[in-house]
A = this chain, B = another copy of it.
Amino acid sequence: MDRLLYGVAYYDEYMPYDRLDKDVAMMKAAGINVVRIAESTWSTLEPQEGKFDFSHVDRVLDAMHKGGIRVIIGTPTYAVPTWLVRKYPEVLAITNRGPNQYGPRQNMDISNPDYRRHSEAVIRALLGHVKNHPAIIGYQVDNETKAYGTAGPAVQKLFVQYMQKKFSSLDALNKAYGLDYWSNRINSWEDFPSMVGTINASLGSEYSRFQRQLVTDFLAWQAGIVREYKKPDQFITQNFDLGWRGHSFGIQPDVDHFAAAKSLDVAGIDIYHPSQDQLTGTEIAFGGDVTRGMKGGQNYLVLETEAQGFPQWLPYPGQLRLQAFSHLASGANMVEYWHWSSIHNSAETYWKGVLSHDLQPNTIYEETKTIGRDFQRLSPQLLSLKKTNKVAILFSNEALTAEGWFANGLDYNQVLRSFYDPLYRHNVGCDMVDPSSPDLGKYSLVIVPMLYAAPASLLARLEQYVQAGGHLLVTYRSGFSDENVQVRTTPQPGGLSKVCGVTYDQFTAPDKVGLQGDTYQAKATDNQVTTWMELLTPTTAQVLARYEHPVWGKYAAITENQYGKGLATYVGCHTSDAVVDKLVTSAVKKAGLWGADQELAFPLITRAGVNQRKKNVHYYFNYSATPGAVRYPHGAGKELLAGASVAKGQSLQLAPWGMQIVEEQ
């Protein structure tokens, strides 16, 4: 990557009239230097089986190239054409809600042989046709790929084969998954029942893992095809997305991001977030931390984010700019809007682009011009920011899926975010790691929310991490069951009991339960235990808080244990976000990570890294409508937007939704 990329998704196919030259001219004026095309356009690329029409692609490639704008080609496979479904109806997935209908995207069975064969054909035809075009800098394989709940008979067969590989015998399977329960025992492979109705959490979680594996395999397969065509200086990426709660919110349950990214050259993501008074930058940071982790800390591409988005996401003046630089501050090398112009028909008419439906310059477009200009001007200083963080959060799709079978009112991503958000609010840089991440030892603090299902080896790694001097902050429900979602028969927290110095065998749903003694200086309304509590008995741990309750008051709620050279904090109950904030900041301090940046707090956000020139770069963002000021605590440098020198201790003024960027000398 030789410069910051500022881009849009562009669909010549969807335009109500020929706009191409006009659009290129407007893009250039805004500093847009890359477009993504072709994704989801199978029905125009291959109007009938085997008959191809690349006219839209060709004219866009030529016009962009002429305009000096680079192109990412997306394979079109995430929405299937009408003829494919008519000829091969089994292309549509059968899920636990029955057979899918034609109409929506992402309705296919990604393991279906006809879908695969025709996907390959259209990819090969497209890439064979465009591969020598000089405008192309990279390829995106499919889009937001998932298994979409595919569970029909053909997929079921694949699953049985997968299980036959995994388990040496049915006896082993029956034992590991507890299938004797309610007569679910499988005594012959041919008896293996459909997963659609299973009530066995072990089997159901395994099926989710298998579906995630389908995604990993599918992307590797597509990337393999693309790799035959791409040039050495072109990249392959995918547009991953996050767990959704009206906007990007948490870990994506349906994809193992770290595994799936292995077949790609560079990680890509879409990040959509609240706006106006609800804009906090948290999802930008969170999504960035997840995506940076996909390829071991490499810089990444934001392949989609909102320009205007839904009606409620129309940004205030300045917000679009604040957002764009926030992505860079997390390590992004590209910010690309979905999409250039608003669509005039169909499902996403109100998911607006940079341009409104009248396709004229508007307030948003005017703001993109300032961003494009600064991206171009500051590429040398802002490209490929490297970040070194001392805190990590360990997440796990295995844990997320398994916990969902027994949620008891808890939500994995909500709990994870309740621990992530304080880090963001206090300007503590964070890496997201998963069980496949090799090196925990480089972190001073590792936070582990609800690691509900995990192999003993992972728990042993956490113990060794503390033994060697790390600080572990681990929550309720962790260690409870093994990788087969079988509850451990050893004392709870299973496999973590020793390192945490605590044990329990009972838990309950709190009813008028608080925390004794206000350890965390919380308001009475915050100092509450809700949804889940474990009745902890310390063995070697010290008690940080006990329950406030006539009966449960004798049990510990939160404990801390010196173990080896390290410290393990165990949080045995779900409590308020305010208390969790205090828990996290306390852990950060104990880990020796409370520095100058932590004296600031949301809405004043600072994020930092080292640029290609090996200089420290400090971003200062004001996520509020009120002017703010920051005393700059680092070495003397230059504020890049205005070009002024900045001395250590100098006050930096931050306009509403404003920012400053300092490169140290």
Residue from B200, B360, B481 within 8 A of A505 (CB atoms): B360
Q: Please, which residue of chain B has its CB at the minimum distance from the CB of A508?
A: B314
Q: Please, which residue of chain B has its CB at the minimum distance from the CB of A45?
A: B183
Q: Please, which residue of chain B has its CB at the minimum distance from the CB of A181?
A: B346
List CB contacts (< 8 Å) of A316-367 with chain B. 316-317, 342-350, 356-360, 362-364
Q: Which residues of B contact A360 (CB under 8 A)?
A: 491, 505
- In the complex, whether A643 has a CB less than 8 A from a CB of chain B is no
How close is A83's CB to chain B, nearest CB, in angstroms?
A: 5
Q: Which residues of B contact A42 (CB under 8 A)?
A: 183
> Are A190 and B86 in contact, with the CB atoms below 8 A?
yes
Q: Which residues of B contact A485 (CB under 8 A)?
A: 345
- In the complex, whether A489 has a CB less than 8 A from a CB of chain B is yes
> Are B81 and A182 in contact, with the CB atoms below 8 A?
no
Contact with B along A498-512 (1 / 0, CB 8 A): 000000011111011
How close is A176's CB to chain B, nearest CB, in angstroms?
A: 8
- Complex Cα spacing A224 to B490, Å: 45
> Are B193 and A103 in contact, with the CB atoms below 8 A?
yes
- In the complex, whether A228 has a CB less than 8 A from a CB of chain B is no
- In the complex, whether A286 has a CB less than 8 A from a CB of chain B is no
How close is A241's CB to chain B, nearest CB, in angstroms?
A: 16
Q: Which residues of B contact A107 (CB under 8 A)?
A: 197
Contact with B along A46-67 (1 / 0, CB 8 A): 0110000000000000000000
Binding site for B on A (CB under 8 A): 11, 13-14, 16-17, 40-44, 47-48, 76, 79-83, 85-86, 100-105, 107, 177-188, 190-194, 196-202, 276-278, 308, 310-312, 314, 316-317, 342-350, 356-360, 362-364, 406, 408, 481, 484-492, 505-509, 511-512, 532, 550-551, 625
Contact sample, A vs B, 28 pairs, CB 8 Å cutoff = A42-B183, A43-B179, A47-B185, A76-B183, A79-B184, A81-B185, A82-B185, A82-B193, A86-B193, A100-B197, A101-B196, A103-B197, A103-B200, A104-B199, A107-B197, A178-B343, A179-B345, A181-B346, A199-B346, A200-B347, A311-B508, A345-B486, A350-B406, A350-B408, A358-B488, A358-B490, A359-B489, A362-B505
